[in-house]
Amino acid sequence: MRKELFNNNHSSTAFVLLDSKLCQACWNCLDVCFNDVIGRINLPWHKHIKFIKASACKGCMKCVKSCKTGAISKIFKENGGYYDKKY
pLDDT tens sequence across 7-55: 445 799 999 999 999 999 999 999 999 999 999 999 999 999 999 999 9
80 lies in which domain range?
3-84
The Cα–Cα gap between 62 and 30 comes to 10
- Give the count of domains, the chain: 1
**Which residues share a beta bridge with 38?**
51
Amino acid symbol at 31: D
pTM listed for this prediction: 0.78
Q: Residue 28 is inside which H or E element, if any?
A: helix 28-32
The CATH number of the domain where 31 resides is what?
A: 3.30.70.20
